[in-house]
Structure 1
Amino acid sequence: MDRLFAGGTVNASENGRGAPLVLLHSLLSDRASFDAVVPELAKSFRVIVPELPGFGRSKPAGSSLVDVADRIADAIGDASSGQAPVVLGNGYGGFVALQMAINHPGLAARYIFADCGAAFSDAGREAFRTMAAASKAKGLAAITDVAMCRLFAPEFQAQHPDLMVDRRAAFLKTDEHVFRAACAQLAELDLRDELHKVTVPALVLVGEHDEATPPPMSHALAAGLPDARLKIITGCAHVPQLQAPKLFLQAIADFLPVATAG
């Protein structure tokens, strides 16, 4: 079931009953990237999967990551009915979750930061600038191959052609202005000096073969957070919940609070 939150600006699906669990999708994908794990999670939690601002039926927020995080924080406040949720962000959704954790203490009970970090290397920053420039000059179609390589290893793409058709189509639906704004945000991102503000427990996950946000970023993030543990998901790249949903669920199982669908 879809519902609108934050004054009608954020569209989100809801499944299951119980304590709230919020899932935030990546920049190069959409909320469907969680479809393989939502049914299992919804057995124990009320799973809320927003479309990030500017995606799907959610209205764009401002041009900064703070604007996006504030909008999602408003939506989570509306959706969680006064009960602090667990928030899981993958990729860009992880950066949004991290900014939100810094700026909105007390909003969530704990966080799962999957395949993200606090700052990119110089090469990582340049990759976002290059993608933004190419999309502006030639459209998203010109960088679709690059986007898919940032999500999945070539071997996985070759073995799952139907999934890749679906993921390419999802990427091409992205609002180009929203995409370029996000690229600009990530190219300048540096939250390392603010990590001490995230005082709730955190789980940092990363796919072993993630090229978009390489494992050293997750190591640094986990080291900089006051209360964090790190897990590496073997054989996976940037979206482990799509590539290996069972491994993903196993990785987060012992971090999630004990809950029933009640």
Structure 2
Amino acid sequence: MSTTVTFQVTTASGPRSLTLAYARTGRGAPLLLMHGIGHHRQAWDPVVDILATEREVIALDLPGFGVSPALPEDLPHDLPTMSTVLAGFCEALGLDRPHVAGNSLGGLLALELGREGHARSVTALSPAGFWSEPERRYAFGVLTGMRATARRLPLPLVERMARTTAGRAVLTSTIYARPGRRSPEAVVAETLALARAERFAETLRSGREVRFTDDVPGIPVTVAWGSRDRLLIPRQGVRAKHAVPRARLVKLPGCGHVPMNDDPALVARVLLDGSRDQEDSALSTSASTVAL
């Protein structure tokens, strides 16, 4: 079950009150999880129970997605604003530089939080921002098409499609390498989340000029990429390694763009290893790095 927190952040327009929805479970060092564009916090459900045995897991609905309200009209859904909002969210929950992890858009946000000194470690799964311009246009075109399809399909048809393996493949094979593993209920819920995402178009537009080219010094960074990612192709991981030279670059064999569903045990292991204290992470870096 999700809960909400209301907090204030300082913006160019002055202090603003914001509300975000999240779920919190487990014990241990805090680990903040952030989903991709058009998704919701339930994207992490396949790995949460595993993570919660060693971490306090906070899975967040980003502003304008899931059940979190969008930002006020005068606040853009861009990278600097989102970073400010997420830092305020962490402060409101008493999270002092938590470990952070994200997928796609969430991976980009995790890297930005790490770069700005708000994270103890970063694990980014197929993060946005390492594309070439043709790759960006391709990914944005696919995402726009997925969104249009989700909005056009009647709910009874989505429910019927989700009851079959073939139907789940039609609905989710762009993001999952193994869509048949996703439950019918989850597929229906995430199709609705995509259709109802309040700030999908604005968030996508704000990413047109985004390139993550800065290093993230001083903390452990893991970048992991599914070998069957059809949205952000795996060679983008090599660019991420060039931008963040000390990062571990990990291959996720047989996984798609949202790998948590395709291989929960592997992804949970990567997340746990990536969110260890800096000294422990340094000891495991060379053994855990796999070339793409």
Matches within 5 A, 1:1-262: 2-7=3-8, 8-61=18-71, 62-79=76-93, 81=94, 83-102=96-115, 104-105=116-117, 107-130=118-141, 140-141=150-151, 148-153=172-177, 156-157=178-179, 162=184, 163-175=186-198, 178-192=199-213, 195-257=214-276
Task: Call closer, same or farther: CA 1:164–1:3 in 2, change over 3 Å.
Answer: closer
Residues 141 and 91 of structure 1, relative CA distance in 2, 3 Å threshold: same
- Residue aligned with 1:4, SS: strand
Which blocks of at least 5 consecutive residues in structure 1 are unaligned? none
Q: Cα RMSD between the aligned structures?
A: 2.8
Is the Cα contact below 8 Å between 1:22 and 1:48 reproduced in 2? yes
Match of 2:14 in 1: none
**Structure 1 residues 130-162: Cα deviation after superposition (integer angstroms, max 9, x where no partner):** 3576689x6743599998343123xx3356572
1:5-51 residue CA offsets vs partner (Å, 9 max, x unmatched): 53452221110222111000111321101112111211222111111
Give per-residue Cα distances to partners, 1:101-147, cap 9 Å, x unaligned.
23x21x111000111143322222223553576689x6743599998
Deviations 1:51-101 (A, max 9, x none): 10111332323231221221112112222x253211001111111222222
Higher relative contact order (CA closer than 8 Å, sequence separation 6+): 1
Q: Distance in 2 between matches of 1:129 and 1:21?
A: 29
Distance 2:95 2:193 in 1: 33
Count how many residue pairs are aligned between Structure 1 and Structure 2: 248
Q: Give the drift of 1:186.
A: 2.5
Percent of paired sites with the same residue:
24
Q: Structure 2: how far apart are the matches of 1:134 and 1:234?
A: 27
In structure 2, the gaps of 5 or more residues are 9-17, 159-168, 278-292
CA shift for structure 1 position 235: 0.4
Summarize the Cα distance change of 1:134–1:254 in structure 2 as closer, same or farther, 3 Å threshold: closer
Q: Distance in 2 between matches of 1:185 and 1:128?
A: 14
Structure 2 CA distance for aligned equivalents of residues 180 and 158 of structure 1: 28
> What SS is found at the alignment partner of 2:222?
strand
Q: Counterpart of 1:52 in structure 2: which amino acid?
A: L
Runs of 4+ in structure 1 deviating by more than 4 angstroms, as ranges, are: 131-136, 142-147, 158-161
Answer whether contact 2:111 2:216 (CA < 8 A) is retained. no
* Letter of the structure 2 residue corresponding to residue 22 of structure 1: L
Q: Which amino acid aligns with 1:66?
A: P
TM-score by length of 1: 0.82
